[in-house]
Structure 1
Amino acid sequence: MKRSLNNRLARFLPLALVALLQGCDQPSANDMPAQEAMTPLTIHHALGSTVINHRPQRVAALDMNEVDFLDQLDIPVVGMPKDFIPHFLDKYRDDPTIEDLGAIVRPNLERVHRAHPDLILMTSLQANDYNELTQIAPTLHFDVDYRNSQTNHIDVVMEHLMDLGQIFGKQALARQRVAELTHTIEEVRRVTQGRPEKALILLHNNGAFHSFGVQSRYGFIFTELGVAPAAPDSDTGLHGQPVSSEFIQQADPDIIYVVDRTAVMEHRPTLSADSLANPLLRQTNAWRNDRVVFVDPEAWYVTAASVSSLVIIADDIIDGYRH
């Protein structure tokens, strides 16, 4: 009997200690904002369904695209990863009221819990943590495909923006943002429509290059923004297909968009025409005609699935056709 009791105590005490510690860490009722009642809303997504019973007051965003959505709708964020914050969200970087939730690809779940969110926004980059996150708060998955964006990428962005507008009671502002983004996308399509130029999207990583085709993270640029690809279709996925300088020369694109991953990952100055010493690349039509665009690497690589990033990408795309 004593051994049985001891075993039960051994199982009970750690749980009780965790509960006690968590209870000590919980804010008092006076510290928590009052929850605004709303008609229960169910959002279906790739990982399941999320039920929202109250207007969220404390939102944790685990992806920079999600932070930008909240920024577009004037919704404060209580926690976010701060390892790679794009320049257009720079105001969040040193805000002491916003909890640093660790890394985008591996958020610190203890910090997420400590932020006491009543809604968590995530993407496929944090999919492995979905079940644990749902134990902390209702968790909404943004169904953007970072590996293959050739189908409905922009529609998915707009639909997610409208979902968030409904959740936060910001439907009118969400519709306004969608209208503005629609105008931007239409402007790009007017520029690219019927143009014969073929383009190559290259990811630069410490001197090496990867190319992105239609079936890749930048597929939407070809299928939805009307840019004609210079390379044959291939399954290039998240980080592209490794290519040689000879491949780039033989593809001979009319426009080259260079995404400098090294600048993002190592916090270096962005690559430029002066710093790119590659004799074969300089023999392409794109280089000879001054149509090599060194794009905004934070908008293209860190985000690329939010309102601000799509507007920046649109400007970069148009820039390739201006010369």
Structure 2
Amino acid sequence: MKKTNIFIALLATMVLMLAACGSKEEASKKESTETAAAEDKSAGASEEGSAYPMTVSPTVASTESEEGGSITFEDEKFEKMPEKIAVFDYGFLDTLDALGVEGIVGVAKDSTLPAHLEKYASDEYKSVGGLKEPLLEDIAEMDPDVIFISGRQSAYYEELKEIAPVVFVGTSQDDYWGSFEASVDLAAKMFDKEAEAKEYLAKFDSALEDIKTLAGNYETSLVTMYNEGKLSGFSTNSRFGYIYDIYGFKPVTEDIESSSHGSNFGFEAVLEFDPEVLFVIDRTAATGGDSNIEADMENEIIKKTKAYKNGKIIYLDGPLWYLSGGGLQSELAKIDEILAELK
């Protein structure tokens, strides 16, 4: 009888052990299934959330060529985020730098780099040439995934397209601020930096408010560009028209021919319009020449103007305004420069 009881007890124990093992195995299978499902769901979400493949449109659809006629820029489709980047436009390089984008392999080192972008003069970055003279063979050796250009390189658009996808990121004379914002948006989306771009653009809110308030203190202003002793003038519908349209300075005249380099504008014309504030962009310094801007500008004619008498001739940094505009850092620096000069 005792042997029978022992046998029954052993049998019951074995049944319980087998049941426990089965439960553990079932739980393990369930856990594996749930983990796999979670991984699949995560992968699917990642795929759905990915910005690529991405079609990128130029900031400006077309531009006039120096030889006459127009050049039309096409959309480009990218299957994945570009890892090797060649950049001609200093404004776009400025934006990529501000957003912390990595992978820049080539920049236009053969022209005058703006001071805040001097780190790109190092040997870490190869030269794609000058702003108007691309080194096509050198660029081909870099094997970039994308080439960013603006107006100064537009004549080489087709040749550059044979090397890699080309995206036009320059600004428009007709809508400078809008095309600047479009270039920032393009960079942010292509390189997954939308949060960084939003944070940086927030800095413009107070800066623009400050400069509009300051601009309200003056009845008239005139934007000019100095080049080797000569002046050109700019009105609202021009490459520097945002000083009026966005910053809020009132133009002393709108009767100035629209041109990328401004309308020829003698010193006598400045005196005739007699602005309260005279902005002067030093193109000579921007292109590496020896500038005599103050000696040339402060002549007997200009000394008769309200701007001179009130100490309101504002000499603007040449490389910043002439070469590197259209970038997050440079556009903010422009506002800060005027605020510092006029406060």
Residue 38 of structure 1 contacts residue 53 of structure 1 at CA under 8 Å; is this kept in 2? no
Asked if structure 1 preserves the Cα contact closer than 8 Å seen for 2:106 and 2:126, the reply is yes
Q: Would you say the 8 A contact 1:293–1:316 is kept in 2?
A: no
More helix by share: 2
Q: Structure 1 residues 138, 214: CA separation in 2 closer, same or farther (over 3 Å shift)? A: same
**Match of residue 132 from structure 1:** 159
**1:267 Cα shift?**
4.0
Written as runs of structure 1 = structure 2, the 5 A alignment for 1:162-201 is: 162-192=185-215, 194-201=216-223
- SS of the aligned residue for 1:308 comes to helix
Distance of 1:317 and 1:198 partners within structure 2: 15
Structure 1 residue runs without a partner (length 5+): 1-36
The percentage of aligned residue pairs carrying the same residue is 25
Q: 1:206 aligns with which of 222, 225, 228?
A: 228
Question: What is the distance in 2 between the residues matched to 1:115 and 1:73?
Answer: 23
Q: Kindly provide the CA deviation profile for residues 248-305 of structure 1, in whole angstroms up to 9, marking residues without a partner as x.
A: 1111110011111111223435734x66441100110010001111111111111221
Task: Report the CA distance between 1:235 and its aligned residue.
Answer: 2.4
Distance 2:204 2:166 in 1: 26
CA deviation digits over 1:146-172, x for unaligned, max 9?
xx24x3x22322222122111111121
Letter in structure 2 aligned against 1:161: V
What is the CA distance between 1:67 and its match in structure 2? 1.1
Matched, 1:89 2:117: yes
State the SS of the aligned residue for 2:196.
helix
Number of positions where the alignment pairs a residue of Structure 1 with one of Structure 2: 279
**2:323 counterpart of 1:297:** no
Q: 1:40 aligns with which of 28, 40, 53?
A: 53
Which residue number in structure 2 is paired with residue 4 of structure 1?
none
Alpha-carbon deviation of 1:61?
0.3
Q: 1:123 to 1:246 in 2, by over 3 A?
A: same
Mapping for residues 252-263 of structure 1, pairs under 5 Å:
252-263=274-285
User: What SS is found at the alignment partner of 1:225?
Assistant: coil
Work out whether residues 200 and 257 of structure 1, in 8 Å CA contact, stay in contact via their aligned partners in 2: yes
Q: Which residue number in structure 2 is paired with residue 30 of structure 1? A: none
Is 1:307 aligned to residue 335 of structure 2?
Answer: no
AA paired with 1:257? Answer: F
- Give me the whole-angstrom Cα distance separating, in 2, the residues matched to 1:91 and 1:270: 28
TM-score (norm 1): 0.81
The amino acid across from 1:250 in the alignment is E
Which of 276, 296, 303 matches 1:282? 303
SS class of match (2:57): strand
Distance 1:108 1:137, change over 3 A: same
Contact 1:217/1:238, CA 8 A, preserved across alignment: yes
Report the counterpart of residue 17 of structure 2 in structure 1: none
Judging by fraction of residues, say which structure has more strand: 1
Distance 1:133 1:182, change over 3 A: farther
- Cα gap change, 1:157/1:246 in structure 2, threshold over 3 Å: closer, same or farther? same
Which residue of the partner structure matches residue 34 of structure 1? Answer: none
Q: After TM superposition, give the deviation of residue 319 of structure 1 in Å.
A: 4.2
Contact preservation (8 Å) 1:60, 1:120: yes
Kept in 2, the 8 Å contact 1:214–1:229? The answer is yes
Q: Structure 1 residues 306 and 90 mapped into 2: Cα distance closer, same or farther (>3 Å)?
A: same
Distance 2:54 2:155 in 1: 25
Query: Given the two structures, how large is their TM-score scaled by the length of structure 2?
Result: 0.76
Give the one of 97, 102, 111 matched to 1:71. Answer: 97
